[in-house]
Amino acid sequence: MVYLASQSPRRRALLRRLRRPFRVIRSTYRETIRRGESPSANVIRNAVGKARRASLPHDAHGIVIGADTVVYFRRRVIGKPTTLGEARRLLRALQGTHHWVYTGLCLMDARTKRYRAMHERSRVTFRRLADEALERLLARMSPLDKAGGYAAQRGGTLIARIRGSRSNVIGLPLERLRRELAAFERGRAR
């Protein structure tokens, strides 16, 4: 069994693409961004914390997935905006430039608590939008629950190009996850 320690509907939808049975569980871990820590260290620390603090059933067996996503722009690690004004300012600053999206993954054995952690990185280039188009986009995509204030799956007018994994930009790098799950399961079988 695979346990997804995330309430994100986007991660749930992505994980369904792997065509594996999974169960969504809560994690009591609160993600944080530490200044002075690299984007990869931030997302890995948060992903591990989410997996370790997952609310597993007492008889759980299988793999727990913890994940965390941030944006890295102008030497700053950026998580979810806290206000609509912050999201608007951030999206304006990102226009016509590129930034990096990092997602940390943690795969943890539900019984032994042994884990493996890694990250994936994608480069995203934004177009420039008129203020009216940006406002329509903000109204459509609920920016406060997304790293960087945008959703790649709804950002077609905003995103000019993605180098790397598109699913990583959405919040769960499926290509990497598929490989890492297979390797983790082989290691558990020994």
Q: How far apart are CA 175 and CA 99, in angstroms?
A: 21
> Between the CA of residue 178 and those of 18, 126, 164, 173, what are the distances in Å?
7, 28, 16, 9
Exposure of 126 in the CB half-sphere (CA atoms within 13 A): 27
The residue type of 159 is I
- What secondary structure, in 3-state letters, does 96-131 show? CCEEEEEEEEEEEECCCCCEEEEEEEEEEEECCCCH
The one catalytic residue in 59, 68, 131, 145 is 68
Active site residue 59: no
Two tokens, residue 160? 């000019």
If you compute the radius of gyration of the chain from its CA atoms, what whole number of angstroms results?
Answer: 17
Burial of 114 (0-12, 13-18, 19+ CB in 10 A): exposed
Q: List, by residue number, the catalytic residues.
A: 68
